[in-house]
């Protein structure tokens, strides 16, 4: 079990209800998973279960990698026999809108694999670009994302605790199917994103601004994006600066392919 340590804003503590909402399952199902040890947790002095956000995302990612059935459509309402037999967790969330796919998706995925970016070590060039993106837009979060077949992985991240998310949660799915910038001024009131776990739970995204990053063949491997917990829009000079930084990142990708 996890130990009840001091709160860490980079890895928030979740209640059982918040955990259930994040996973898209019933609170009763989540309680069974917690009590069985399938999802690491601890009890407060008052007897309430608490979970670290990182533990939820780790288990979700493990089940997604193993191709486990979706808890929302499968038979995950029953408690698993042991922690070794972890429950199936959803990579899709009931109510979440289906995401678009690029017309070159097969070739794009091949390009992502060939790039070697997924699960690669941090690199100064991308870390600096993400940091600059956050600075020039005054956003608390900035990411260099790579979109694989079933997950969104962060090559670089500023102000974001999660190393990756399921592909279905990625705002960047919408950015890579268009030219130029994709903006969401208030995700909470956008039907495409209102039920997204990243909006309902931490980091509680309200604003998103992303620009696709393309390799030498023009395939969008991911994005340079900025995020905020408050509704907003980018001013002209902020958007231009973000576009320039994305162009630099794309040039770096083009040199490698």
Q: Is the confidence at residue 49, as pLDDT, over 50?
A: yes
Q: Is the confidence at residue 184, as pLDDT, over 60?
A: yes
Q: 64, 90, 116: which is the final residue of a domain?
A: 90
Q: Note whether residue 99 is domain-resident.
A: no
Q: Is the confidence at residue 69, as pLDDT, over 80?
A: no
173 shares a domain with 50: no
209 shares a domain with 176: yes
Q: In a 3-state reduction of DSSP, which class is residue 136?
A: helix
What's the distance, CA 168 to chain centroid?
Answer: 9
| pLDDT score at 131 | 97
**Residue 192, burial from CB neighbour count under 10 angstroms (0-12, 13-18, 19+):** middle
50 shares a domain with 149: no
Q: Which position has the token pair 């931490």? A: 202
Which of the four pLDDT bands, split at 50, 70 and 90, describes residue 78? very low
| pLDDT score at 63 | 61
222 shares a domain with 118: yes
135 shares a domain with 206: yes
Choose between 226 and 202: higher pLDDT.
226
Choose between 133 and 66: higher pLDDT.
133
Give the whole-angstrom CA distance, residue 118 versus residue 120: 5
250 shares a domain with 192: yes
Write the CB contacts of 72 (distance below 8 Å, at least 6 apart in sequence).
24, 25, 90, 92, 93, 94
Q: Note whether residue 117 is domain-resident.
A: yes
Report yes or no: 160 and 143 within 8 Å, Cβ to Cβ. Answer: yes
252 shares a domain with 139: yes
123 shares a domain with 234: yes
In the chain, how many domains are there?
A: 2
Give the whole-angstrom CA distance, residue 95 versus residue 64: 19
| pLDDT score at 227 | 98
pLDDT in tens, 160-180: 989 999 999 999 999 999 989
Which of the four pLDDT bands, split at 50, 70 and 90, describes residue 64? low
Overall pTM surpassing 0.75 (yes/no): no
Report yes or no: 212 and 225 within 8 Å, Cβ to Cβ. Answer: no
221 shares a domain with 175: yes
Quote the domain boundaries for residue 113. 105-256
Q: Note whether residue 95 is domain-resident.
A: no
The string of DSSP letters for 185-253 reads S-GGG-TTTTT-HHHHSTT---EEEEEEEE-TT--EEEEEEEEESS-----HHHHHHHHHHHHHHHHHH
Q: What is the CATH number of the domain that holds 55?
A: 1.10.1660.10
Q: Note whether residue 176 is domain-resident.
A: yes
Q: Note whether residue 212 is domain-resident.
A: yes
Helix, strand, coil % in the chain, rounded to nearest 5? 35, 20, 45
Question: In this structure, is the dihedral angle defined by the CA atoms of residues 186, 152, 143 and 204, taken in order, positive or negative?
Answer: positive
Q: Note whether residue 19 is domain-resident.
A: yes
179 shares a domain with 125: yes
55 shares a domain with 114: no
Q: Note whether residue 184 is domain-resident.
A: yes
Give the whole-angstrom CA distance, residue 182 versus residue 167: 17
Write the CB contacts of 145 (distance below 8 Å, at least 6 apart in sequence).
152, 153, 154, 155, 170, 172, 210, 222, 223, 224, 225
Instruction: Output the six-digit token pair for 86.
Output: 């972890």
Q: Note whether residue 213 is domain-resident.
A: yes
Which of the four pLDDT bands, split at 50, 70 and 90, describes residue 233? very high
């Amino acid at each position: 079990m996890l130990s009840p340590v001091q709160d860490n804003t980079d890895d928030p503590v979740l209640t059982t209800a918040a955990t259930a909402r994040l996973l898209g399952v019933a609170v009763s199902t989540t309680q069974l998973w917690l009590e069985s040890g399938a999802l690491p947790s601890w009890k407060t002095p008052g007897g309430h279960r608490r979970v670290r956000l990182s533990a939820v995302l780790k288990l979700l990612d493990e089940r997604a990698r193993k191709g486990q059935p979706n808890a929302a459509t499968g038979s995950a309402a029953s408690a698993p026999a042991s922690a070794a037999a972890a429950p199936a967790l959803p990579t899709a969330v009931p109510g979440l809108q289906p995401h678009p796919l690029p017309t070159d998706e097969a070739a794009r995925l091949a390009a992502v694999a060939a790039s070697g970016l997924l699960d690669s070590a941090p690199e100064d060039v991308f870390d600096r670009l993400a940091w600059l993106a956050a600075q020039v837009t005054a956003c608390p979060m900035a990411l260099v994302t790579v979109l694989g077949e079933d997950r969104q992985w962060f090559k670089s991240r500023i102000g974001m605790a999660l190393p990756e998310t399921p592909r279905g949660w990625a705002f960047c799915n919408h950015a890579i199917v268009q030219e130029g910038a994709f903006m969401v001024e208030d995700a909470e009131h956008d039907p495409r994103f209102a039920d997204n776990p990243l909006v309902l739970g931490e980091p509680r995204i309200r604003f998103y601004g992303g620009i696709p990053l393309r390799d030498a063949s023009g395939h969008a491997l991911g994005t340079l994006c900025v995020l905020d917990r408050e509704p907003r829009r980018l001013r002209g000079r902020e958007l231009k600066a973000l576009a320039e930084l994305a162009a630099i990142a794309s040039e770096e990708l083009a040199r490698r392919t």
